[in-house]
Structure 1
Amino acid sequence: MPVSNNPPLSRGPPLALALKITVFALLAAAVVVYKLDPFDPAALPAEELSGEPASVAACNGRVLQAADRIGVGELAAAEDFAYDSELGLVYTGDGDGWLKRVRLNDSTVEKWAFTGGRPLGVALGADGDVFIADADKGLLKASKEGVVEVLTEEDDGVKFRLTDGVDVGEDGTVYFTDASSKYAFHSFIFDFFEGRPYGRFLSYNPTTKETKLLVGDLHFGNGVVVAPTQDFVIFCETPLRRCRKYYISGDRKGSVEKFVENLPGTPDNIRYDGDGHYWIGLSTEMTGSSSYWHIALKYPVLRKIMAIMEKYGQRPNLEKNGGVVAVNLEGEQVAWYYDYKWTLVTAGIKIGNHLYSGSLALPGILRLDLDKFPATAAGCPWSKSHDL
């Protein structure tokens, strides 16, 4: 058979060229998707994002290794807590629409009141009633018998889309937040991505049944707690890492001032322990200008990319080091309990010598013995002796 001197026919471009063509095509497609997507994020207030997290005096960064969990299998995603010291139980909302009661002596979990929505913030009233900020249904009240009624669903014709935090004053006034007037609970992440102030802080008078807007234009208004002095209410804004005071009596009535800012993470619910400290759930860490979320919040273009990725289920998990921070009456951060794999932490409450905490990412309620596993200066990430 004669041998051909012709070179073999090419079977296509070399592999390197094929890869370049593929990458170019993917980039071109990504640019087209970005340009065509109507999502339009806004710039967040630069002055609110510039502050570095304040150093906390003591930390425990190994919470998951030391704590136990109660109610696993019966609580899928415990949210806020309301503690009834007389009955020795806590109320918490779960993702299945039930307000549940957890007995602390034996960790028994009971389905108590069904809202049919997504109960988030909870607060105990003077007569044993429980007030519920239900993300889907609005501000609710459950009687001592577990009968649920809707108190208010809107203000000035604007419906609540994500009723979030709640607390009750000694005079019976209910204070609560609507985190977003645009996004519902299942899509709350897009409120963060968009960066516009859709949140509200409101009050409800059970006698007159009046709903009143107290502070508008909040960036995801979240946790609420009435001060033990009953002269102001604290409300938190999640992406801005701060909680502020709203005065409800005295010469400063109706005014707003800072309480705590530059938190080491994004705040959710806030609770007072009756012993000089507020406890704030931090859904994810934001401890420096190099953290992913800190960078994303500063640049709208990055938040649009993240929003597009979220729509297609491709956004990477950026949440880490969630936890609970204790703040004294002067707004000073005194102790931070966290863990690298502990994320989407919603609340913390100190009862006796234990810290109880809920999370949207971990089932059950986390319980940490604060005497056995205290926060220490050496446990803080900025400590030279801290083992990362």
Structure 2
Amino acid sequence: MFRNYNQINITQGTGPESIAFDCKGEGPYVGVSDGRILKWEGSKFGWKEFAVPFSFRIRKLCDGSTDPNLEPICGRPLGLKFHIETCHLYIADAYYGFLVVGPYGGVAEKLATSAEGVPFKFPNGLDIDTKTEMVYFTDSSTVIQRRNVDSLLRSLDQTGRLLKYNPYTKEVSVMYKGLVFPNGVALSKNNSFLLVAESTRMRI
């Protein structure tokens, strides 16, 4: 048990999903409900905007939003992971697909929106193999979006996938199909195996 801890409140949006630290150990970085990725700059400066999913994001509409119905417009970054060497941040955005942004942040670059001809519907968790540089991420459903997550849980939808992005070929391949709400992804310390959380089935 951790006896000493600090609570860092977020006032710009709600619902931080993944937490990431960059290759220098700075952060944490979190994705929030209004589509932005924020970086903690310490108690003096607080949370600062680090990245957004696309350049034409409407700030007046999106900044601070907690409305799930605005997520398809504003974005919703879920999985976050920094490449340990390049310090690029890979992002699984529930609506804008698989993205990456450089070490200084800004507007993310879209890397992929589909795999083997099937569009992403709910990109979610991700992790990076530090040896091969392959990026593994989940697409929780090919039918139901994140804003309708309650329907996804009730439906027992089995269209979830585990995907792999190859940074050398720029291609996304499907590793597993037929998963029920695949969520978080984690590689072992030596990258010898990969864990996937299947939320609806309550199993790893």
TM-score (norm 2): 0.82
1:158 aligns with 2:158: no
Can you list the C-alpha shifts for 1:236-259, whole angstroms capped at 9, x where unaligned? Answer: 10011111xxxxxxxxxxxxxxxx
Counterpart of 1:138 in structure 2 is 97
Which of 11, 16, 21 pairs up with 1:83? 21
Give 1:68 shift: 5.1
> The residue matched to 1:191 in structure 2 has which SS?
helix
Identity within the alignment, %: 29
Alpha carbons 2:92, 2:126 under 8 Å: kept: yes
Alpha carbons 1:70, 1:107 under 8 Å: kept: no
Give 1:158 shift: 1.0
Which of 107, 124, 128 pairs up with 1:168? 128
* Cα RMSD (Å): 2.1
Give the counterpart letter for 1:95 in structure 2.
Answer: S
Which structure 1 residue ranges, 5 or more long, are not aligned? 1-58, 244-388
Give 1:84 shift: 2.6
Give 1:188 shift: 1.4
Counterpart of 1:219 in structure 2 is 180
Structure showing greater Rg: 1
Which of 120, 128, 138 pairs up with 1:177? 138
Counterpart of 1:74 in structure 2 is 12
State the number of aligned residues. Answer: 181
Give the counterpart letter for 1:120 in structure 2.
Answer: L
Give 1:104 shift: 5.0
Which of 102, 121, 125 pairs up with 2:79? 121
Counterpart of 1:384 in structure 2 is none
Give the counterpart letter for 1:131 in structure 2.
Answer: Y
TM-score (norm 1): 0.44
Which structure 2 residue ranges, 5 or more long, are not aligned? 54-73
Aligned-partner Cα distance in 2 for 1:114–1:210: 23
Give 1:105 shift: 6.1
Give 1:133 shift: 0.5
Higher relative contact order (CA 8 A, sep 6+): 1
Aligned-partner Cα distance in 2 for 1:89–1:238: 28
Compare the two structures and name the one with the higher helix fraction.
1
Aligned-partner Cα distance in 1 for 2:24–2:101: 18
Give 1:230 shift: 1.1
Aligned-partner Cα distance in 2 for 1:107–1:70: 12
